[in-house]
Amino acid sequence: MSAERLQSGSFEELALPLFDQLYNFAQWLTQDRAEAEDLVQETYTKALRGFTSYQQGTNFRAWMYRILRNTFLTSRTGLRNAATTSMDAEDDSVPAVSDPDTPESILIERSNQQLVQTAIEELPLPFREVLLLCEVEEMSYQEMAEALAIPIGTVMSRLSRARAALRNNLRGKLSKV
Amino acid sequence: MACDSWLAKLDTYLDGELTASEMSAFDAHVRGCSSCAASTLARVQLKRAVRSAGQRFQAAPEFRQKIRAQIAAPSHPRRSLSWFWAAVTLALVLGAFLTGWIRQERGRQGALYSELTDLHVATLASTTPVDVVSTDRHTVKPWFQGKIPFSFNLPDLANSEFTLIGGRVTYLRGTPGAQLIYQLRKHEVSVFIFPEQALRLNTRPEALFTHLTFHTASWTQDGLRYFVLGDVSPDQLQSLAALLKAAK
């Protein structure tokens, strides 16, 4: 009994600080406010219920993201997304290096937030999520591997492909400006 | 291309995931290779752009409240909860809270300092790094009048190793401020000055912070937040900071 109580106290303290970032990530996945709220609520419900099976000492944040992501993938939007996402993203090969870098002058001024947001939105889901976990959540490769349930090598290649895709997309957009 | 093997590791380098020895080898190479330095700058800027574009959605306050209530610990403590467990709970909760808080604080600091590093690097990479070119503080200081909503004092550098190169107006999180460029031998150091209140940083100034081989010293004085940033040694950085703090 006391142990249960102990855990419910620490769940709140561990899980609540993640609320803002989980919500942000959820809305990036679902692209819809109501769906993001449902997703976050379900994540917290599942995590609270499963907290006894959570192994102390392992990465709690990665564990929460993993629940959120699994919940999303089995939701209607998630299933639709999986059906349309090209499996290219699962390719482990690292892309050729010699692609030129983004026209940085445009990004220096930071006036093009909207442009970058649209470019992220247009990335296929596997690219979008790995990029956001790395750049926004600043997760380590190990943490991303746990959150996405994939090997570190796949994290690295997927991240690299996601960045190349983003640079390509931005380059296309900027040439039209 | 000779640099292909470096470029292949560039992202891993910027993600801080190379081994310590690879990291320092990379540092050394980037310093000496202008083409890799340019690629590094471009990638850093893209990372920065994605980070700020990615922090996009905020939950409604009512929804946050709903989740908070949903996961709140039961409000009536069970009788079987002994004092021992109460003490352990408290210690764990405090520990978790503190770690969470410190981590969050580090995250915020990290984002802030990487933004400043970007500004510094972008300024130096620019063809016109400064808008007012002068080694005379009595020229540089008045130039800012009417351009930024505050005033500041600059030190007399007669007895120091530093030279003033000039200044420009800069922006951090939408707040206008002053950026001054100082030189110490071949190294450039940026001094950023912003009105503390307008900046609303929610972080305390940190005496010394290191990001991507750049050191930053920061403090608050007379309602202004100062950041001194450059690739000189921490001691040299602190000596410029001391001069600025003493400026009349």
Pick from B67, B78, B93, B103 the residue to mutate for testing the A interface (most A CBs within 10 Å): B67
Q: Give the model's confidence band at A39: pLDDT under 50 very low, under 70 low, under 90 confident, else very high.
A: very high
Edge to edge, the sheet with strand B214-221 lists B132-133, B163-172, B175-184, B187-195, B224-230, B214-221, B209-211
Span of A80-89, A130-139, B66-75 with lowest mean pLDDT:
A80-89
Domain-embedded: residue B102? no
Q: What is the pLDDT of residue B152?
A: 87
Nearest CB partner across the interface for A9, out of B60, B73, B80: B73
Closest CA to A22 of A6, A38, A5: A38
Q: Which residue of B has its CA nearest to A14?
A: B96
Number of domains in chain B: 1
Non-local CB neighbours of B54 within 8 Å, separated by 6+ positions: A24, A28, A120, A131, A132, A135, A136
- The pLDDT mean for chain B works out to 82
Q: What is the pLDDT of residue B122?
A: 79
pLDDT-derived band of residue A34, with 50, 70 and 90 as boundaries?
very high
The answer to whether residue B37 neighbours chain A at the CB level (below 8 Å) is no
Looking at the domain assignment, is residue B36 inside a domain? Answer: yes
- Residue A175 predicted with pLDDT over 80: no
A interface mutation test: which of B36, B44, B56 has the most A CBs within 10 A? B56
* pLDDT greater than 60 at residue A9: no
> Are residues A20 and B80, on separate chains, in Cβ contact within 8 Å?
no
N-term to C-term CA, chain B: 53
Sign of the CA dihedral running B36, A171, A24, A90: negative
The residue among A52, A59, A54, A24 whose CA lies nearest residue A40 is A24
Q: Which residues contact B87 (CB under 8 A, 6 or more apart)?
A: none
Position B3 in a domain:
yes
- Contact of A108 with B170, CB cutoff 8 Å: no
Confidence of residue A83 (pLDDT cuts 50, 70, 90): low
Q: Phi and psi at residue A57, in whole multiples of 5°?
A: 95, -20
| Per-residue burial over A31-68, b = 16 or more CB atoms within 10 Å of its CB, e = otherwise | eeeebbbbbbbbbbeebbeebeebeeeebbbbbbbbbb
Q: Is the ipTM of this complex over 0.90?
A: no
- State yes or no: pLDDT of A98 exceeds 60: no
Q: Which residue of B has its CA nearest to A161?
A: B11
User: CB distance from B3 to chain A under 8 Å?
Assistant: no
What is the rounded distance in angstroms from the CA atom of residue A102 to the CA atom of residue A27? 27
User: Is it the case that residue A78 has pLDDT exceeding 50?
Assistant: yes
| B21 assigned to some structural domain | yes
Q: How confident is the model at residue A21 (pLDDT cuts 50, 70, 90)?
A: very high
B94-to-A107, B48, B108 alpha-carbon distances in Å = 41, 33, 21
pLDDT at residue A86 tops 60: no
pLDDT of residue A76: 78
pLDDT for A8: 46
Confidence band (pLDDT; 50, 70, 90) for A100? low
Please state, as a whole number, how many other Cβ atoms lie within 10 Å of the Cβ of residue B25. Answer: 15
Cα–Cα distance measured from residue A138 to residue B15, given in angstroms and rounded to the nearest whole number:
9
Residue A6 pLDDT more than 80? Answer: no
> Torsion-angle region of residue B16: left (phi > 0), alpha (psi -120 to 50) or beta?
left
Do the domain assignments include residue B142?
no
Whether B54 and A135 lie within 8 Å, measured CB to CB: yes
Q: What is the mean pLDDT of chain A?
A: 82
Q: Does the pLDDT of residue B86 top 80, yes or no?
A: no
| B52 near A CB under 8 A | yes
Best residue of B71, B90, B170 to probe chain A, by most A CBs closer than 10 Å: B71
A108·B45 Cβ contact <8 A: yes
Which range has the worst mean pLDDT, A9-13, A114-118, B106-110?
B106-110
**Within-domain flag for B17:** yes
Average pLDDT over residues A48-64: 85
CA-nearest residue of chain B to A121? Answer: B54
Q: Does B7 touch chain A (CB under 8 A)?
A: yes
pLDDT at A97 over 50: no
Q: Residue B46 falls within a domain, yes or no?
A: yes
Host domain of residue B41: 1-57
**Residue A58 corresponds to which tokens in the numbers above?**
């392992």
Mutation for testing the A interface, residue in B3, B15, B43 having most A CBs under 10 Å: B15
- Higher confidence at residue B50 or residue B138? B50
Query: In the structure encoding, which two tokens stand for residue B92, read together?
Result: 């764990």
In sequence order, what E strands does B17-149 have? 132-133
- Over range B166-189, report the average pLDDT: 86
* DSSP three-state, residue B157: coil
Q: How confident is the model at residue A101 (pLDDT cuts 50, 70, 90)?
A: low
Residue pair B238/B217 in contact (Cβ under 8 Å)? The answer is yes
Per-residue pLDDT for A95 more than 90? no
Indicate if the pLDDT at residue B202 is higher than 80. Answer: no
Is A141 in Cβ contact with B104 (below 8 Å)? no
Residue A83 vs residue B178, higher pLDDT = B178
Range in A85-94, B122-131, B165-174 with the lowest mean pLDDT: A85-94
Residue A137, burial from CB neighbour count under 10 angstroms (0-12, 13-18, 19+): buried
Contacts of B4 in chain A (CB under 8 A): 97-98
Cα gap B126→B107, rounded to integer Å: 28
- Is pLDDT at A127 greater than 90 in this prediction? yes
Find the CB nearest A5 among B47, B57, B81: B81
> Residue ranges of the alpha helices (H) in A31-103?
33-49, 60-73, 76-84
How far apart, in whole angstroms, are the C-alpha atoms of residue B211 and residue B219? 17
Cβ partners under 8 Å of residue B21, min gap 6: none
The answer to the question of residue B51 being in a domain is yes
For residue B133, name the pLDDT band (cuts at 50, 70, 90): confident
A97: chain B residues, CB-CB within 8 Å = 4, 7-8
Question: What pLDDT shows up at residue B232?
Answer: 86
The pLDDT of residue B32 is above 50: yes
